[in-house]
Structure 1
Amino acid sequence: MSSANHNPFIALANRETNEHVGPCYGFGVFYSGNHLSVAEVSPHCLTRVMTGINDFDFRWELKPNSSFTTPEVALTFSASGLNTMSQQLHHFINHHVVPEQWRLVERPIQVNNWEATYFDFDYDKLDAIARKAKDVGVELFVLDDGWFGKRDDDTTSLGDYFDNPKLQGGIAGISKKVKSYGLKFGIWVEPEMVSPDSELFRKHPEWAVAHPLREPSLGRNQLVLDMANPDVVDYLFDKLSDVFSRADVDYVKWDHNRNFSDNYAQSLDSSTQSGFNHRYVLGLYDLLARLTDAFPNILFESCSSGGNRFDLGMLCYMPQTWTSDNTDAIERLNIQHGTSLCYPLSSMSAHVAAKPSHQVLRRTPLETRFNVAAFGNFGYQLDITQLTSNETQAVKEQIAFYKRHRKLIQFGRFYRLAPLLTTISLLGLSRAKTVLRDCLAITKNFNKVTAI
C-alpha cells in the first residue's frame, strides 16, 4: 500500500532547482496499493520515468478478449521551481480529483475525542466535550475509536459495528445529543480490519488475510480483511450503511492501522493469488464508490495510522486525509512541509493537540500549536473541558481567526518560502487576477514558531 515512507508521488529536479527557480517535474499515481517509481538516465543523458503498479509478487493473467486497466498518473512540469509544481498539482486536485460535491467547499472545524479520552469515555464525558465545543465555536464533533462492540482497548471487536454498551443510547443517542447543540456529528471506523477476538472473525475466519495452515502475524492486535472477496465488500457496505443511517453521520474518519503480511486470500485460487494486492485495492475502491454514492453528503477523511495511504487514489473518494498521528507542532511543520509538495492544504488535516505531546513529550505553547495546525483542515484533539479560562478565550479567538481566513488557507495559492533546513516558512496567498488580496505566513527558526 502507499505509505508515509513510500508515497506514490515523486519529483524530478535539477541540482540547481529550488522552491522559486529551476525546472522540475511532478508525478502522482492514482493508486493506493503496491507501487513502484523508477527513473533512469541513458548514456545520452536522456531521463526515462516509469511509475505505476509494483511488479513484485504481481501476476495477472489476461485472457482472450479481456482487458486490464493500469492506474493513471498525473504529470506536471514547472520551469519556475518546486512551488509552481506544487501549485499546479494543488489546483488540479482541488478542481478535478476530489469528489465533485466537495470541490472548493470549506471544511468544518472539528474536535476529536481521541487524545482527550482514548477508550476511556462514556456518554456524559462525550456530552461535556460537545457542549464545550459548541461554546468555543467548533462545528463538528468526532467520536473516535471505542464506540462499537466490546471495544474498550485495541485487542477486540474490530468488525463488530454494533453499539458498545458503555455508550448510553448508543451511537444514535450521542449523535442526537451532539446535533442538539448545532454541531455536526462524525465517527471513526476501521472497516478493512478485523480483531481475532470478534464476532465477525469467529463467524468468518476465512475472511482474514492469512494462510489457513500458518499462525498469522498481528499488527496492533488485528488482521486485515480480504477486500478481494466480494462477500467482504458486501458485508461492509451493509454494516456501514446501517451505522451511517442510524447515527445520521456527517463525517467519517476511515482508518487503516497496520501493514500487510501473510498475503494470502482464501477467496482466490492458485492462478489468481499473485494478483491479491491489486484485487484488494479494486475491492476497496468498489466499496468506497458504493458508499460515497449512497452517502454523498458525508465528508470522508482517509487515515492510515496517520499519514499512510495519502495518495491521489484515495482523494478520488475522500477529499481529505489525516496527515500524521504525530500531532506535535514542531514535528508537524516538517511533515506538512513535505506533504505540500504534492497535496493541497485542503487535503491535509491538522489539529491542536495536548501538552505535552503524546508522541514526543515536547511542551509547546497553545499559540504555537495553533499556528501550525491552522495550515490545513483545522481542529482540536485534546480535552477541551480542561482548558483554563484564559485558554478557552484563546481557543475562541483562534477559531474566529480561522473562520475569517478559512477559504484562503484551504484553497489559496500556497508557497514554501524556504527549503527544509533549519528554517521553514509556509505562505498562503489568495489572488484576484494579479492583485494580492490576503496573505498568511508561518516561519520556524530553531524551534521558534511565529505567525505573520
Structure 2
Amino acid sequence: VLHSADISYVKWDMNRSISDWYTQTLPADRQGEMPHRYVLGLYALLERLTAAFPEVLFEGCSGGGGRFDAGMLYYCPQIWCSDDTDARERTKIQYGTSFFYPVSAVGSHVSTVPNHQTGRITPFETRAVTAMAGSFGYELDLNLLSDAEKQAVTEQIQQFKAYGPLIHNGRYYRLTNPMTDAEAIWAFAAQDGSEILVQGMIFHAEANTLRHQVKLRGLCAEKQYRLDGTEQVYTGAALMAGGVLLPKAWGDYTPVSMHFTEV
C-alpha cells in the first residue's frame, strides 16, 4: 500500500489492548515473556517500515495498546494523545502529557460539538486554541460547517502556520494548573526571548468579578513587548512580575490567545 501512492502520513491506531494473552510458541513457565516480545516485535516492524519509507510520518496512538512510551517516539514522533477531544478535558490531558513529552509529539484536533464523549459544547475558537498546543488538525465534516465556521477554519490554519515554529520549537510554560485553577493558561516563548504566545481558556464566566491575571515567563526583563493588534507596550519585567490581564470571560470556556513581540 505504501508503495502504491504518494503517501506521507499513516495513523497507526492501537485500539485493542493485549488481554488474555497466551502464545503456543513458549512453554508455560515462559508465558510472561509474551507482552515484552510483542513490543520488541512491534519495534522491529516499525524499524523496517521507517527505514523503507523515511518520508512517511507515522502517528502512534496512546489508546488500547498504550503505545505512548518513549521508545515508540523513535518511530512515531507524533502520537494521538487521546480520543477524548473535548477542549475542557484536553487542557488536563495535555497538561499532564507535557511533563513527559514535547508539545510537537501531541496529536490534537478540533472536533465537532456536542463532543462525542462528554456532550459538552465549547466555542469553536476555544477548541482551536486548545488543539494548537500540539499537532493541530480537524476531525469533523467540513461540509456541515457554516460559512462563518469555514472562514474561522481558514483563519485558524493561517494562525497555526504563523505560530507553529514558536509552538513546536519555543520554550513551553505552564502558567496555571487546570486541575485546580479557574483557567488553563500556557505559553510558548522564543528561545531568544523575542516573542511569546499566551493561550488557553477561562473555564466559567462569573458576574461582577475581577479579571484574572497571569505572570509570564521566558522573556527578557529589560526588553519591551507589544501586544499584537494594540498599541500596548510592556517591559519584560512587568509582564513577568506583574503579569498580564486575561480577557473578560463571556460565557463558559472563553478562549485566550495573546501574542507579544519584541519592540
Q: TM-score interval w.r.t. the shorter chain?
A: 0.7 to 0.9
Contact conserved, 2:81 with 2:106, CA < 8 A, in 1? Answer: yes
Which deviations, in whole Å up to 9, do the C-alpha atoms of 1:69-119 show, x marking residues without a partner? xxxxxxxxxxxxxxxxxxxxxxxxxxxxxxxxxxxxxxxxxxxxxxxxxxx
8 Å CA contact retained: 2:61, 2:67: yes
Verify the 8 A CA contact 1:307 1:321 in the aligned structure 2: no
Please state whether the residue corresponding to 1:287 is helix, strand or coil. Answer: helix
- The Cα shift of 1:271 comes to 5.0
- Residue 325 of structure 1 and its aligned partner are, at CA, apart by 0.1
The aligned residue for residue 253 of structure 2 is: 448
Q: What are the Cα deviations for residues 201-223 of structure 1, in whole angstroms up to 9, with x where unaligned?
A: xxxxxxxxxxxxxxxxxxxxxxx
1:249 aligns with 2:7: yes
Query: Partners in 1 of 2:137 and 2:6 — Cα distance?
Result: 21
Provide the TM-score with structure 2 as the length reference.
0.74
Q: What's the offset of the Cα at 1:316?
A: 1.0
Matched with 1:315 is 73
Letter in 2 for 1:358: H
Determine helix, strand or coil for the equivalent of 1:282.
Answer: helix
Q: How far 1:308 sits from its partner (Å)?
A: 3.4
In the TM superposition, what are the counterparts of 1:220-239 in structure 2 within 5 Å? none
**What secondary structure is seen at the aligned counterpart in 2 of 1:362?**
coil
Q: Residue 60 of structure 2 corresponds to which residue in structure 1?
A: 302
Report whether the alignment pairs 1:269 with 2:27: yes
2:166 partner letter: L
Local SS of the residue matching 1:393: helix
Q: Which amino acid aligns with 2:109?
A: H
Q: Which amino acid aligns with 1:293?
A: A
Report how far residue 390 of structure 1 moved: 1.1
- Quote the residue 2:186 is aligned against: 426
Cα distance in 1 for partners of 2:151, 2:91 equals: 25
Structure 1 segments (4+ residues) deviating >6 Å:
none
SS at 1:272 equivalent: helix
Contact 1:306 1:322 in 2 (8 A): no
Cα shift readout 1:98-151 (whole Å, capped 9, x = no counterpart): xxxxxxxxxxxxxxxxxxxxxxxxxxxxxxxxxxxxxxxxxxxxxxxxxxxxxx
| Residue identity opposite 1:442 in structure 2 | G
- How far off is 1:371 after superposition? 1.2
Identity value in percent? 47
* Aligned-partner residue type, residue 429 of structure 1: A
Which of these residues, 140, 155, 168, is aligned with residue 382 of structure 1?
A: 140
CA distance in 2, matches of 1:428, 1:255: 29
Which residue identity is paired with 1:354? T
Any gaps of 5 or more consecutive residues in structure 1? 1-242
Output the CA distance in 2 between the equivalents of 1:391 and 1:409: 24
Residues of 2 paired with 1:350 and 1:328: CA distance?
10
Normalised to the residue count of structure 1, the TM-score between the two structures is 0.44
Pairing of 1:129-278 with structure 2 (within 5 A): 243-278=1-36
Deviates more, 1:279-288 or 1:257-266: 257-266
Distance 1:321 1:444 in 2: 27
Q: 2:108 is matched with which residue? A: 350
* CA contact 1:374–1:402 (8 Å) conserved in 2: yes
* Bigger Cα Rg: 1
Q: 2:124 aligns with which of 340, 358, 366?
A: 366
CA distance in structure 1 between the partners assigned to 2:122 and 2:33 by the alignment: 47
Counterpart-to-counterpart distance in 2, 1:299 and 1:354: 25
For 2:57, give the aligned amino acid: L
* Counterparts of residues 32-181 of structure 1 (less than 5 Å): none
Counterparts of 2:113 and 2:147, CA distance in 1: 16
2:186 alignment partner AA: L
Query: Number of paired residues?
Result: 208
Q: Contact 1:306 / 1:325 at 8 angstroms: preserved in 2? A: no
One-letter identity of the residue aligned with 2:15:
N
1:225-259 deviation per Cα after TM superposition (whole angstroms, max 9, x unaligned): xxxxxxxxxxxxxxxxxx11113311111111122
Contact 1:431 1:438 survives alignment (8 Å): no
Deviation, 1:307, is 9.5
2-side partners of 1:401 and 1:307: how far apart? Answer: 34
Show CA shifts across 1:30-80 (max 9, x none): xxxxxxxxxxxxxxxxxxxxxxxxxxxxxxxxxxxxxxxxxxxxxxxxxxx
Conserved 8 A contact 1:305-1:325 = yes
Report the AA paired with residue 45 of structure 2.
Answer: L
Question: What corresponds to 1:193 in structure 2?
Answer: none
Q: Which amino acid aligns with 2:255?
A: T
Task: Choose between structure 1 and 2 for higher RCO, CA contacts under 8 A separated by at least 6 residues.
Answer: 1
